[in-house]
Amino acid sequence: MTQGEKVVAGSPNYHDVEKNGELVLKLFTAYYRTSNHSGKIYDESPNFFLVKPQVLEGQDIATRSSDKLLLDDCIQRAKARGGYIGVSKHRNPKLGYYWLELSVMPFMMGDAVSKDNKGEFFYILTKFIEYTRQNPKIYGDLTAEMESDRDIALMFAGINKMADRLSTSLKIYPEKMLVSYNPNWPVTEVKKLLHSLKENDQNWCEVFFEYLIYVMGKKT
């Protein structure tokens, strides 16, 4: 998800999932049916917004088979989790054109981590870190050595910075629309977290994975 101040740019109507259907269909029709991906309709749309999958379901929007498959996949997965389709807008500053990236929301443990949803992933990661601080007897306290170890403190600062990418979106949408996790952190959820840490190449993930294994190993 594209984060920061630019999330709130553009028409606020795009952010209201109860009223943005007409706007989204107009934007998607322009995007998937024309080769000109620049102009007012893109300039006025925000860098990120959510739309109900039902708005797009059954609509004859895309013309290319690959686009149709991508849209249908997002629609079905969003419906399966009772969620939304996240639309991230990007711009090539040199050529002046826009492109859209779609994601399934809310983000859940087990979802593939990418540059567009890493804010959601690291946000959930900070929730797990806080859980271990408050419940050190279960998995160990990941923050126990933070004050005495500069490298660990630096790692946590990096993770918090990544998680902060979600802060602006949380002013627009409630947490449950953006991320979904079990706050009790059962073993199954932690295993998904470990898998996500190991299988993506975002900053800090490999180091944190090794540190988490180290802390949990001491606990067991």
Which residue type sits at 38? S
Which residue type sits at 204? W
The reported pLDDT for the residue numbered 35 is: 85
Q: Which residues contact 97 (CB under 8 A, 6 or more apart)?
A: 37, 38, 91
Task: State the pLDDT confidence band at 12, using cuts at 50, 70 and 90.
Answer: low
List, for residues 160-172, the tens digit of each pLDDT value.
999 999 998 999 9
pTM score of the predicted model: 0.87
The reported pLDDT for the residue numbered 95 is: 85
Under 8 Å between Cβ of 121 and 113: yes
Q: Where are the beta strands (DSSP E) in 72-148?
A: 84-92, 97-105, 107-108
How many residues are given for the chain? Answer: 220
List, for residues 111-149, the tens digit of each pLDDT value.
988 888 899 999 999 999 999 999 999 999 999 988 888
Which residue type sits at 45? S
